[in-house]
Amino acid sequence: MATPRKFATPVPDRHHPHTLSAIDFQGASSAAAAKAMKAELARFAAQIPNEERRKFFQLEMDNFYMLFARFLDEKAKGAKIEWEKIQSPSAEQIVPYKDIPVTTSTTDLSKLAVLKLNGGLGTTMGCVGPKSAIEVRDGMTFLDLSVRQIEYLNKKHDVSVPFILMNSFNTDDETKRIVQKYASHNVDIITFNQSRHPRIKKESLLPVPLTVDAPIDQWYPPGHGDLYESLYNSGLLDTLLSQGKEYLFVSNVDNLGATVDLNILHHMVESDAEFIMEVTDKTKADIKGGTLIDYDGRIRLLEIAQVPDEHVEDFKSVKKFKIFNTNNLWINLKAIKRVMDEEAMELEIIVNNKTTESGEKVIQLETAVGAAIQHFKNAHGVNVPRARFLPVKSTSDLFLVTSNLYALVHGELHMNPQRMFNTVPLVKLGDHFKKVAHFLSRFKTIPYILELDHLTVTGDVTFGSHVELRGTVIIVANHGERIDIPSGSMLENKVVTGNLRILDH
């Protein structure tokens, strides 16, 4: 049985040092900002007495500096995406899942590794620690479900697909502690860390931290686009290739629909594609998701952060952009090695504006893992069924995945065959339900929702046990009011408002 292992061997000499002279800056202010940043990063490095740690830190700061330099360059040039050049993807660029041949062959599995993006915290849902440690179904966490899936896959097909977690400095310690419980499982679990970059003061464009050991909230993980640099620089990429692995299936740890699909894997091999992005049809609930476009004859990922303000409504439209990125990605490992060796991996910069607790405005320069699609040969999208996109971003999503809408089979969620429609109900739970602890306290049991279309709940509302919801149900408790839905109730196409108290006697 494989034991969990940490993978963080730095390989500091694999990158060529980047110099300021390599960047053609427009404007003295950009050059001054770049020079000041470079001096600060050098000062940080000088504070590290351990040579190995210092080299690895310098490698991370090299990558951060190149991102910063590109940001300044684009800012000086006013470089923006040209809206007129954006075209819908061609038929060759998006393949419908139903057109992919069904395969029963499992030979490709021996060349596969599965990676979950595990850098996020559960703060949005009121939880402390890695989001992957939140319980989502039958007492099991995101991690439990993922490990169970891979363990079943390995046992069923007599293969050894490794399970890799890309952590951030926010999640690494706790994740390493958690994965120890899988030591006796039939899964080789590998963890490695993505980069740590300094937050940037918006006004001065200087780093927020003053020392290399500054508090953790003065640094940030630079988005999941950092996967390529971190995989390469940690040495894990070379290790996987030496083990005969050729394909990497990447997904968000909170997407419960992202399971290994033999048909897509076989299609990737047969089509000689170096990169496949799973997309799915856009609904009005998906207005912020990135989408694939044809730009100057090449396939590209377009994120909302890149869209000019005057075109944001166009971007959100379901008419113009009919699909969105699920962030389920299939990538050829040899191709990643080639692109990284050539230092050709330039991903569009996403500027994330933040305000610290002290009120200071800062920026984080981030990249998206899917943006790399333009760097790979025969890259295309596969339009998959909605069932492959089942994220849990909020307690409204948690409500769905814990309900009788889904059944759990070997760690995978399958929609209940008794549901009449393929669509998932639209659920909007108000602020009283926002945190997981509050959400759990308001339901004696999760209602039956097989025939539900739409649910909106706002205000101080609680649900008894064995409640059934059908059609469209809207429950509104105004300020100062409270509504208790009695145990055993059946609400069908109902609006409930006012006060409703059920008292035990």
Q: Residues at the annotated binding site for substrate? A: 224
Both structure tokens of 317 = 């439209």
Q: Roughly what angle, to the nearest 10 degrees, separates helices 172-179 and 142-157?
A: 50
| CA separation for the pair 137, 140 (Å, rounded) | 5
- Assess contact for 165 and 189: CB atoms under 8 A: yes
Q: One of 75, 201, 393, 444 is an active-site residue; which one?
A: 393
Binding-site sequence positions for UTP: 131, 194, 223, 254, 393
Main-chain phi, psi angles of 32, to 5 degrees: -65, -45
Query: What residues contact residue 4 under an 8 Å CB cut-off, 6+ apart?
Result: 176, 179, 180, 182, 183, 189, 190, 191
Question: Alpha carbon 399 to chain centroid distance?
Answer: 20
Q: Which residue in 89, 102, 38, 13 sits closest to 373, CA to CA?
A: 89
Which residues are within 8 A (CB) of 375 and not within 5 positions of it... i.e. 6 or more apart? 275, 339, 344, 345
CA 248 distance to own-chain centroid: 15
- Binding site, annotated residues: 131, 194, 223-224, 254, 393
Task: Measure CA 238 to chain center.
Answer: 24
Supply angle C-alpha 230, 136, 441, rounded to 5.
Answer: 130
| Residue 393 is among the residues annotated as catalytic for this protein | yes
SS3 state of residue 224 = helix
| Enzyme catalytic residues | 393
